A and B are shown apart, each in its own frame.
Chain A
Amino acid sequence: MLAFLIRRITQSAVVLLVMSVLVFVGVFYIGNPIDILIAPDASPAEYARAVRDLGLDKPLWEQYFIFLKGALHGNFGNSFVYNEPALKIILNRLPATLELAFTAMFMAVFLGIPLGMVAGIQHDNWIGRNIMRFSILGFSLPTFWVGLMMIIVFSVHLGWLPSGGRGPTTEFLGMQVSFLSWKGLTYLILPATNLALFKTSLAIRLSRAGVQENLQMDYVKFARAKGLSNTRIIGLHVMKNIMIPVITVLGMELGNLIAFAVVTETIFAWPGMGKLVIDSIGVLDRPIIVAYLLITVTMFIIINLIVDVLYSILDPRVRLGDER
């Protein structure tokens, strides 16, 4: 276990280092941000001063080492656009993204699992088949397309829900959240549903398969023989057994939700990290792009590591992959 942990952490550090070089050098070569940031009629002296202030006159490797040293201290440099520390701007946007991701996850769990269980029990009639059709659609339709349709139907055509933005927020545990006020909630519904669609489909499939597998098992037969009601067998015994794999897979998908939030946030103008990075790529705000990518990749590596370790603790049959 310890050997596995050490190997994984070393491996993750190498991946991050390679990523940082790749991203830094790559983003550096996209274009010269100075041309975008400075007025075209600036004098050569002003131009030179701006280049010097931004540290763009130094050789690339030196810029990289300054950046790396800073990054290890949590300093990714100042945003070219906002002139504030990039990390601070991203962390300011983080709660919005997390709120969206967790709401979507909540919807996937509380809609997907019951629907999937119904589909598993009623697998041979129209209810089950329609639930499965819905999940196939949820899998194959591109997220942004569904988001577009939602805006057309629910905000342009019916006028029920706002099409974008975050609306009023309330303070909760030191963070600004939307789900506590009715008005804020109306802004949250469409983006969260949009983001949840894929995961809901996944939860439906997983719990349907789980129910079908578990209904064949001896413990269900035994419970039936004992005369327990169907509701109790499915609602309690089967439910418990399918929850573990479904929750594990969904937990692994949490990182995916944060990555996919890029699309949903752009469509619904949700002021999270994803929208920030897309806007920043548009104006070549280099520190933000680099910081976002590195932070997201780090989050991913950590989530994957935790899931792997937890999985081996929860299920002793799973061996950690360090014996090859």
Chain B
Amino acid sequence: MAVQNESLLWQAIKEYFESRVATIGLILLAVIVSVALLAPYISPQNPYDLMSIDIMDSKLAPGSKSMDEAVTYVLGTDSQGRDMLSSILYGLRISLGVGVVSTIIALIIGSIIGLWAAYRGGKTDAFIMRTVDLQLSFPAILVALILLAILGKGIDKIILALVIVQWAYYARAIRSNVLVERNKEYVEAAKCLALPQRRIMFGHVLPNCTPELIVISTVKVAGAIALEATLSFLGLGMPITKPSLGLLIANGFKYLQSGYYWISVYPGVALLVLIVCINLVGDRLRDVLNPRLKR
């Protein structure tokens, strides 16, 4: 059994790397994730440390040297004299962290609610699904806008808003999955063994739905990161002390007209590469793991 599983996994991995674009995407994503995780160790400067930044170095063009000739700012500096490269590395860390954490929480909450709806059926199901339909009929940005207008700024608040925006999607996805899985033979077999329904649902049906959920959520992380960046750009998301990529772009936006393009363009490029890579990896995972698309 274990051997069979391993070979299937191996097959999937081999199939994944058949696509050159997806391979490049995965490698780039791995690089981005590692530089984001290692930001405090590899970045030239700590952008939060007021001692290490010098206002005299503000708005320097990419490649210029600091006042004391000690440091070269590869990507230039912002209006406070912060090294853009360091800011971007720290910003990546925040954007990625917020996106991943909120998606995982939304995935867990949405799965539990969706599974519960499918398991209970009847009125509970109807009520939960109505709520889901209702929430999904509003665009994510409007829901997030309402929540953040109420909650105010903060990293915990933006995570909460992203969770509330996303949970309904997972609840619906897992419910429809469960309704399909429920009619399969292994569930009948489990019923014949007289296992309690709860155990069948959580112990047998749920594990069979997880691969697909993981694939969906990979793509959804990109959406969460984009939404967080948008909200931060609007000045609704992250506080000024925790600059995510969106906030960095917003800070540079003011100076765009004056020709200091690098303050917002480089964080923008970082955000773009991050989102495109996640989408590439997610799409490829879906193609590889979705049995319906197999030849």
Which residues of chain A in 125-165 are interfacial with respect to chain B, using CB atoms and an 8 Å cutoff? 140-145, 148-149, 151-152, 156, 163
Asked if B137 lies at the interface with its beta carbon under 8 angstroms from chain A, I say yes
How far, in whole Å, are A143 and B279 apart by their CA atoms in the complex?
16
Given contacts A141-B275, A259-B139, contact A281 B236 (CB under 8 A): yes
* Interface-lining segment among A20-28, A32-40, A81-89, A116-124: A20-28
Mask: chain A, 282-324; 1 = CB below 8 Å from B; 0 = not:
1000000100010011001000100000000000000000001
**Chain A: interface residue total (CB-CB under 8 A):** 41
Chain B residues near A142: list those with CB within 8 A: 226, 229-230, 271, 275
Contact of A22 among B150, B256, B271 (CB under 8 A): B150
In the complex, whether A91 has a CB less than 8 A from a CB of chain B is no
B145 sits at the interface (CB 8 A): yes
Q: Which of B24-32, B39-47, B261-269 contacts A (4 or more CB under 8 A)?
A: B261-269
A260 to B227, CA, bound (A): 11
Give complex CA distance A163, B249 in Å: 16
Chain B 224-278 interface residues, beta-carbon cutoff 8 Å to A: 226, 229-230, 233-236, 246, 249, 253, 256-257, 259, 261, 264-265, 268, 271-272, 275-276
Q: Find A156's partner among B233, B235, B259 (CB 8 Å cutoff).
A: B259
Q: Does A266 contact B (CB under 8 A)?
A: yes
Residue contact B249 to A148, C-beta cutoff 8 Å: yes
Report whether B146 and A152 are in contact in the complex, using a CB–CB cutoff of 8 Å: no
A145 close to B271 (CB less than 8 A): yes
Interface: A108 (CB within 8 A): no
Q: What is the predominant secondary structure among interface residues of chain B facing chain A?
A: helix
Chain B: CB-nearest residue to A253: B139
* Interface class of chain A by DSSP: helix
Number of chain B residues close to chain A: CB under 8 A: 38
Q: Is A263 part of the binding interface, using a Cβ–Cβ cutoff of 8 Å? A: yes
With the chains together, A227 CA to B67 CA distance in Å? 78
Measured between beta carbons, the chain B residues less than 8 angstroms from A293 are 145-146, 149
Contact among A22, A148, A324 for B126, CB-based, below 8 A: A324
Q: Residues of B with Cβ closer than 8 Å to A? A: 126, 130, 134, 137-139, 141-142, 145-146, 148-152, 222, 226, 229-230, 233-236, 246, 249, 253, 256-257, 259, 261, 264-265, 268, 271-272, 275-276, 279
Using a CB–CB cutoff of 8 Å, the interface residues on chain A facing chain B are 11, 15, 19, 22-23, 26-27, 29-31, 140-145, 148-149, 151-152, 156, 163, 255-256, 259-260, 262-263, 266-267, 277-278, 281-282, 289, 293, 296-297, 300, 304, 324
